[in-house]
Amino acid sequence: MNGNESRADGGRADPGQGDGNWGRWGADDETGALNLVGPEAILAGAALVTEGRTISLAQPLGPASPMPPHRSAPRRFMDRDGGDYAAGARAPGGFKFAEDTVVLSTHSGTHLDALSHTWSGDTLYNGHPAASLRSTRGAQRCGADKLRPVATRGVLLDLVEGYGGPLPPGTPVGPSDLEAAYARAGVTPMPGDALLLRTGWWEVQADEPAYYETEPGPTPEAARWLAELDVALVGADNYAVEVQPAGTPSMFPVHLELLHRNGIPLLENLSLLELARTGRATFQLVVAPLPLAGSTASPVTPLAVL
């Protein structure tokens, strides 16, 4: 179901296992599997809106939010606040205002990874040179500005429901586990779906250092299985989407399989408990990444529209 028969002439060969999606949408493509969210997928998602309500799937984000050790916590600077007026700032006609500046990693909290986020060897997704990623200019190829807004059918696979509780640390989720979860949900996969995995990790580890050290999630085999389904993106309620520790030479093999080899963006650090409580396995998912030119990810507030 990978659709490789439709590859454009002149596509580049993927140096990894299998041919993935390199060249499928042309040699210059930087958007990847989000190309699958066309009119049919958009209409399929819109048809699922029957209740007229939205649920935010984003985790809270601010200076007090937990962060992995290698990333700086968000910082807020007040450009204008009540203290300015107490110190004598002018308030023409009584008008007062507050403004602030926030500095944060694009990988803070709930965010969508761009295809420039991870690679192997000397090439990004679709054979674009890794040399195009530089500190002075950012990602000149496959950056967050190449991510398209998403409005498609969201599919929630509630692994917590199947397991009987939150998955323990380091629990691998393989293809058979995903297949069983689809069956429990009564969902047939469709090209262009946005697949969300609830492991319960955020619910039990939100304030613990272990949230960033070990987590349940898909294996590389599961990632290849999902790529064959033609999903447009994969998200989860944990730090890296994939099982950690990975148990492979690569720290993040699922990142390489989905982002690098197949151009499937990862939606990380979701909050899925409220959505799970609705009992809805399918819904319209709306994700609008900021077009941050040259960035490797974009903070987002995904919405489940019911």
Which of 262, 261, 259, 209 lies closest to 239 in space, CA to CA?
A: 209
Distance (Å, rounded) from C-alpha 154 to C-alpha 299? 19
Confidence (pLDDT) at 306: 98
Confidence (pLDDT) at 246: 87
Q: Both 13 and 142 in a single domain?
A: yes
Rank 3-7, 216-220, 244-248 by mean pLDDT and report only the highest: 216-220
Count of the separate structural domains present in the chain: 2
For 110, 159, 290, the CA distances from 172, given in Å and listed in that order, are 22, 11, 32
Q: What is the CATH number of the domain that holds 120?
A: 3.50.30.50
Strands 297-299 and 111-113: antiparallel
pTM of the shown model: 0.91
Q: What angle do CA 68, 288, 59 make, to 5 degrees?
A: 35
Is the pLDDT higher at 88 or at 11?
Answer: 88
**Cα dihedral 260, 219, 158, 216 in deg (nearest 10):** -110
Q: Is the pLDDT of residue 150 over 80?
A: yes
Mean pLDDT of the chain: 92
Q: Both 254 and 213 in a single domain?
A: yes
Q: Is the pLDDT of residue 291 over 50?
A: yes
- What range does the domain containing 160 cover? 4-64+106-305
| 201 phi and psi angles, rounded to 5 deg | -65, -45
pLDDT tens-digit readout, 185-200: 999 999 999 999 999 9
pLDDT tens-digit readout, 1-43: 344 333 343 445 554 545 799 999 999 999 999 999 999 999 9
Residue type, position 232, single letter: A
Q: Is 188 exposed, middle or buried (0-12, 13-18, 19+ CB in 10 A)?
A: exposed
Mean pLDDT (whole number) for 118-140 = 95
